[in-house]
Structure 1
Amino acid sequence: MADTTDLLTYLQRGRDAVLWKLDGATEHDIRRPLTRTGTNLLGLVKHLAAVESGYLGLVFDRPFPEPIPWAGADVEANADMWATPDQSRAELVDLYRRVSAHGDETVRLLGPDAEGSVPWWPGRGPVTVSFVLVHLIAETHRHAGHADIVRELVDDSAGMSAGNSNLPDGDLDWWADYRGRVDGAAERYR
């Protein structure tokens, strides 16, 4: 198993990618649902704050010290997946950063082999900090992928990070040609 420094590095890359997708987007664009299920950029941040506060807080008896009302068992379904009008971008981004710092501190204090219990995984035995970090890396990067697609739907922005798009270097004409070829291949199966 990778040591916790490596795992925290990969988790942070996912966190950074999700937050980067908010940069330069309007308040409307970070809140508007762009899929049938309502996926939106700021909702992904809100969701990840709740998820991480549980996994690197409650699971290891180090609850995040601030209330996260949308993370309770008695809340409306998907309350953590969208920002209400009274929840600002700054508030939710700052919360996510505080939750992340608290989670990182949990990892450093307890170490990779410390055990905890996930109450929402009934019948599952104890989990280690390392196991939970791998789970959170997968969860965070999954949602970073959602954010990448949603942001591309907003304004055609795409890429992995500010310094590394991880995409071919193509101008608008190249991308239009590429998309046309992909579409043409798909049309053969209509």
Structure 2
Amino acid sequence: MPINDVSLTHHGGEEASALLEELCDTYADAYGVGPGEDKTAAFRRRAQKQFTRPGFSLVTARAEGQMVGFVFGFTLPAGDTHWWGGVQPEPMAEFLEETGSRTWVLSEIEVRRAWQGKGVGRALHDAALGARGEKRATLATGPDAAAQPVYESWGWRRVGRIPGDEGDYYSAYDLFVVELPVSR
């Protein structure tokens, strides 16, 4: 099915909560895991926490009524430096400053396996970031994530690496930043 047959819809946190089961199913499919597996359960816990964060926004992609992908994130609150905690190489202090309206975190971008490589991820990315009023966006990936070259081709630049927290998938994460608005 071509990308033209995909519709994108913006949602707030309350709507995202109502879509949680579909989000989990889409996430599980994107990773080729079962809906009840640990990876999906961890996603569920992360997602539920983020639905109530300031600046939360979700964009879903649907084809013939089925969710085929989604992207969501939130705005870093003023004074929050946890996101940048321990980043190496250490950037200038101004880079780390959060005002509550400076940085939007692209937390998740997932596309069902049958729809990967068809432009759905890019359409979701552009729709989410195009609606933001912040000055920049950031995301974190595993150090060897296959998506890193894709993000770079979309204009993101790697700014450093942070250590993972206990229980994280990776012991370290690469942080990327893109200035907003994104240009294509």
TM exceeding 0.5: no
The TM-score range, normalised by the shorter chain, is: under 0.3
Ranked by relative contact order (alpha carbons within 8 Å, sequence separation 6 or more), the top structure is 1
TM-score calculated relative to the size of structure 1: 0.26
The structure number with the bigger radius of gyration is 1
Greater share of residues in helix: 1
Greater share of residues in strand: 2
TM-score calculated relative to the size of structure 2: 0.26
